[in-house]
Structure 1
């Protein structure tokens, strides 16, 4: 673990040179999430009931108790790996996350978020040092620039990075503005060496401050269903689970539940939980 000085962290928009680093960071942060989601689906009562029926039928065909149990489970796991949205648990959206990251660097490149720790301490956050970029090969240099469709660019949203002395220590991904006054945080990732230092909280709170200033009234976060750590993180930041309010508040929330729904997988089982916060 590396001790961070949060008042020296620069939170900036992702640039083109950062894409590969951010991809690796997101992949590290989502490691094992897909397997936990599959285990969650397999252990639902309805799923177990269906597997039991299929196993009973196979028992009469293969004359092997072990094979009758293993074959349907194996086939269902393969089916879930193929059909489950790749981004579920990584960005909380069914859109392929490499497309999301790869086209999110566009727009104003000098944008930064206010660091509240720097304001409290009275210190100015140090300017991020220029990162060392691996030289491009001849093939990469001669290749024509990738053409990104405007619709894809618009849907990409934004990726904000926590830059610690030129090193990317974390990121927060925010989807595009689909509804007036509504924002969605797709994923918050902190590098393994910088966890439990308050960096994730800094990223989310700085992003909330910016969205509030531009007129957003509510922000959502989609958390992978089996992620207890993610649920605890957003609860500490004041987020509430959507759909768990009192009867008096249900009428307003019912409308939001219809619009802001969790990602669902096999047999309609929810793969994410929706949290929200009024800004």
Structure 2
């Protein structure tokens, strides 16, 4: 695991140029989670009953008991492998990743999230500065080439981008030396004074360094300044690590109360649903 100086991390909105890096980060963070989610769905009582019924019917057609048992399971696994990414979205919501392009429209006009560790950052030596300048020069050159190619393509309607920016959520990324280390997505929500965090991923090399905590807390601080009073976090159902993480940040599982009368009535966020309507996320809530 690489050591990370949080003072060098920049928290900013995702731009169109970051989408491929964010997609790769999401895929890396979801390794193994999809299989655990499929196992969770397959072991629900209704799913087991349905599979047993289909296997019993196939047993009258096929001479092999093992084939009659494994074919329905195999077909269901393939079905879930194909449909789960579409239902949960590449960024953890019901929308595919390109719907977030609208939020990239305002990326350069909105300020970065403040990093409280920046003041404590250590001074880099001359060698590190030279590497930064070299990387920045290469990045600038590649952006200029991409800009020239973009000018040859059809221009996107500005009004369309504004509309997509209005209805899309936001994806904030943590960047250091031009590398995307983590991201957190705020899904769009129709109610006032409410935020929904639907995806938090940190690159495997930089976990347990405080980067996930920094992303969530800075987003909470921004939300509070905007008048938001409640934040919901959707955590994949089999993720014990994610559940423990949000509990440490003061979140509680929806339905758990602290003894305040009437608090249960306010918990009305619906979890994401999967095959046969089984929930695939747990909803955690925090009042700011």
Q: Label 1:158 to 1:118 Cα distance change in 2 as closer, same or farther (>3 A).
A: same
* 1:143-182 matched pairs, under 5 angstroms: 143-147=153-157, 148=160, 150-182=162-194
Question: Counterpart of 2:287?
Answer: 278
**TM-score under structure 2 length normalisation:** 0.84
The Cα of 1:151 is off from its aligned counterpart by: 4.4
The Cα of 1:145 is off from its aligned counterpart by: 3.5
Question: Counterpart of 2:44?
Answer: 44
User: Any conservation in 2 of the 1:87–1:94 contact (CA below 8 Å)?
Assistant: yes
How far apart, CA to CA, are the structure 2 residues paired with 1:114 and 1:139? 33
3-state secondary structure, aligned to 2:88: coil
How far apart, CA to CA, are the structure 2 residues paired with 1:54 and 1:19? 42
- Correspondence for 1:193 among 184, 205, 208: 205
Matched, 1:262 2:263: no
Of 22-31 and 142-151, deviating more is: 142-151
How far apart, CA to CA, are the structure 1 residues paired with 2:17 and 2:261? 46
Which blocks of at least 5 consecutive residues in structure 1 are unaligned? none
Q: Label 1:32 to 1:143 Cα distance change in 2 as closer, same or farther (>3 A).
A: farther
User: Any conservation in 1 of the 2:5–2:121 contact (CA below 8 Å)?
Assistant: no
Q: Label 1:167 to 1:83 Cα distance change in 2 as closer, same or farther (>3 A).
A: closer
Question: Counterpart of 2:126?
Answer: none
User: Any conservation in 2 of the 1:13–1:105 contact (CA below 8 Å)?
Assistant: yes
How far apart, CA to CA, are the structure 2 residues paired with 1:57 and 1:38? 23
CA RMSD of aligned residues (A): 2.8
**TM-score under structure 1 length normalisation:** 0.86
How far apart, CA to CA, are the structure 2 residues paired with 1:172 and 1:80? 25
Question: Counterpart of 1:29?
Answer: 29
* 1:99-248 matched pairs, under 5 angstroms: 99-109=98-108, 110-118=110-118, 121=120, 130=136, 132=139, 133=142, 135-136=145-146, 142-147=152-157, 148=160, 150-245=162-257
Q: Label 1:137 to 1:271 Cα distance change in 2 as closer, same or farther (>3 A).
A: same
Q: Label 1:235 to 1:261 Cα distance change in 2 as closer, same or farther (>3 A).
A: same
The Cα of 1:41 is off from its aligned counterpart by: 0.5
Which blocks of at least 5 consecutive residues in structure 2 are unaligned? 124-131
Q: Label 1:113 to 1:50 Cα distance change in 2 as closer, same or farther (>3 A).
A: same
